Structure formats: C-alpha cells, structure tokens
Amino acid sequence: MARKPRIDRVGFYHIVNRGVARADVYLCDDDYLRFLEIVQDASDEYGFEICSFALMTNHYHLLINMKKMNLSVALQKINSRYSMYFNNKYKRVGPLWQGRFKSWYVYDENYLGTLIRYIEFNPIKANITKNIGEYKWAMSSYNVALSMLNFELIEKTNFEKELDEKELENVNELYRSKFEAGSSCNFDKKTKSKDLSHLMTYLPKEQAIYHALIDGYTQKEVGEFLNVSNVAISKIVKIYKQKVKLFNKLRDKGIFWSYKKDIVYDEVGAELLVEYLLKYGDFDDIKLGFELFGKRFMRKVWDMKLKSDKSFIKTNLMLARLFFGMDVESDYFKEVKNERFEKLRMLAS
C-alpha cells in the first residue's frame, strides 16, 4: 500500500512513535531524561517548541509547534539519536522504533485544547496515576525545566474532567484527516522559491543563497538583498559546496547509516554533519571540517554532543590535544558530565 501524502508546513503537529513490537523504550529515569535532552538539542537546532508531551514506557506523544518547515529531519534526528543511545546502553542491536513516526497536522486550532487533554490524560488511562500532574514524564507535571517547553497552552487547559465521547471523536477525526504530516523540506518552485525573502526566512543563510542562485537570481541581486558584496556571496557559495561535497563523501562511506540512503546535506544541517564528522570521520576530513566550519563552531558541537560521551574517550582525547590545544589525559573525559543532563536529573529526582 502506498504511503499517505505528506505535508510540511509551519504549525502544530501531534507526533506519536512506539517501540518495535510495542517493546519498552524507556527502562529507567535516565532514559526519559536522555530522550528529553535529545529533543531539546533538536529544538535548539530546528527551532520548534513543545506544547505538550507524555512519555509512556513503550511510546511517546509530542505536541510540537514548528516554526520552520523541517519537521521530518528534526524527528528523524531525535529518533535516530535516542535509538543509538538506547542500543549502546543496553547492548542491543536492530531498530528500536516500530517504523517511521506518525504525525498529524493540527489544521484547526479548536482541536488544540482537546488534543492536549488527550495527551496529558495518557498516564491516567494507563492506570499509572490518578490525577493530572502526578506523572512526572508528562508536561502537566512541570517536572522538567527546558527552554523548548512552552507551558502557555497547558496553563489554559481545563483538566477537571476526562475527554467525553464528542471530544474523543474530534481526536479521531484529526487522525482520519486526509494528510499525514511531516516530510520534505522542498519548496514549490513555481511559487515559493521565486520569492527571495521566503528563501532567506526559511533556510539557513548559505543554503538560501545557493538555492537563490540556482533559481536564477544573480549574485548582485542576492548581495543587494543581504547588503553584502559579490565577493562575499561567491565565498559563501564556494564554502557551501565544499560542505555538501564533504557530507556526500561521509554519507557514501555509510557514516549516516541510520538515515535514509539518499539523504542530502540540506536535510541534515551543519550541526549533525559536524557531530558525525567528529565521531566517525578520518583525520583529513576532520581537518577540512575545521577549515569549513571554523574552530568555534566545531568546539561548540564537540562540547554539546561528544565531550561527555564515554564511548568516544580516545576520539575526544585526540580532538582535545590536536585541535583544541588542551593539555589533558584520558581520565579527564571519564569525569566530564553533561551539565544539562545532570540538571534534568536533579529536577526529576
């Protein structure tokens, strides 16, 4: 059977994913915390907010407010990173999730309040707790403090009673809607890509410049729009092409094995490319990465994604000594802690 047509637009989405064969995907508090930290990382990179969530033992619900058209890439990264963490921690192999995530675009804002109640009542329906706010891995518990969490809709929602039959039918109507949300970041070239301001709004700067030139804009037009010189535009495009070439090289080596085979740099973005480059790239490729992305950005990604990962101590030692000028030994990385994760652990205890 063919997949449902997918849409990708700014707005609210209800996201659901389950463990393969309905197996548990969270086995302890640290697992819930790590998942939320990974979602926060994706929020920092892709610019979305979480308006409601419920992490159950074998599945999760997220209500996401997307600010840009990049839902599929963000969720693919979340699921892939958590799967890698879980498989490594519990010494398992194979897929963690039952398949691609399920997602529905909330085309009517009248459904938002009902949908939030549906999500937050999940622990009560599962007989885990009796009252809203008691289950610490639902957003209504106010148990974690992360910048991605927007409590505005939670605070406006009336949780005094469970959903009635009409409200449940509204949720089911949403799930029966014609379009399942969430995939490509491509623009309709007959309309949107001709609008230079649209490109500059919804794409990273260097990517937007490159696609503007492909669509027929001159370097002068793009430069005048951005108030930069033709020389600067040429340099940006040259570096962008080198980044694409580096990504394609790593992809063809199989480094991005957990993603679809034909994934492209525009879908992945700079942060994920640098993360995988530092983890799995050879010395010459890493050196090129520093030339293309700059030491400051490489150090930022290293600090966030790799430095505290105990499975990459040898790699971290090499990076620290050769690229960041740090006089440290391997024991240094055995003691490094993920500050945000430790803060979440304290809040959840």
229: helix, strand or coil: coil
Asked whether residue 275 is domain-assigned, the answer is yes
Residue 69 pLDDT > 90: no
Instruction: Sort 113 into a burial class: Cβ within 10 Å, 0-12 / 13-18 / 19+.
Output: middle
Confidence at 112, pLDDT banded by 50, 70, 90? confident
Asked whether residue 339 is domain-assigned, the answer is yes
Length of the chain: 349
Q: What is the mean pLDDT of residues 297-302?
A: 94
Residue 180 pLDDT > 70: no
Which H, E and C letters describe 115-162, residue by residue?
HHHHHHCHHHHCCCCCCCCCCCCEHHHCCCCCCCECCHHHHHCCCCCC
Q: What residues does 11 pair with on adjacent strands?
A: 66
Same domain, yes or no: 40 and 145: yes
Asked whether residue 31 is domain-assigned, the answer is yes
Residue 332's closest CA among 307, 298, 311, 303?
A: 307
CATH number of the CATH domain containing 133: 3.30.70.1290
Identify the helix (H) or strand (E) that includes residue 211: helix 205-214
Residue 299 pLDDT > 90: yes
182: helix, strand or coil: coil
Confidence at 330, pLDDT banded by 50, 70, 90? confident
The domain boundary residue, chosen from 146, 181, 216: 181
Residues 185, 267: contact at Cβ < 8 Å? yes
- Domain range for residue 135? 6-181
Identify the helix (H) or strand (E) that includes residue 52: strand 48-55
* Model pLDDT, residue 76: 87
Q: Is the dihedral of CA 174, 176, 178, 180 positive or negative?
A: positive
0.85 exceeded by pTM: no
Same domain, yes or no: 165 and 252: no
Give the Cα separation of 254 and 249 in Å (integer): 9
70: helix, strand or coil: coil
Give the Cα separation of 219 and 212 in Å (integer): 9
**What is the per-residue pLDDT across 71-106, written as a single tens digit (0 to 9) for each?**
888 898 899 889 989 998 999 988 999 878 888 888
**What is the per-residue pLDDT across 125-157, written as a single tens digit (0 to 9) for each?**
899 999 999 999 999 999 988 999 999 999 998
Asked whether residue 216 is domain-assigned, the answer is no
Give the Cα separation of 289 and 274 in Å (integer): 7
* Model pLDDT, residue 103: 84
* Model pLDDT, residue 242: 96
Same domain, yes or no: 120 and 20: yes
| Single-letter code of the amino acid located at 42 | A
Residue 138 CA, chain-centre distance (Å), reads 19
Instruction: Sort 61 into a burial class: Cβ within 10 Å, 0-12 / 13-18 / 19+.
Output: buried
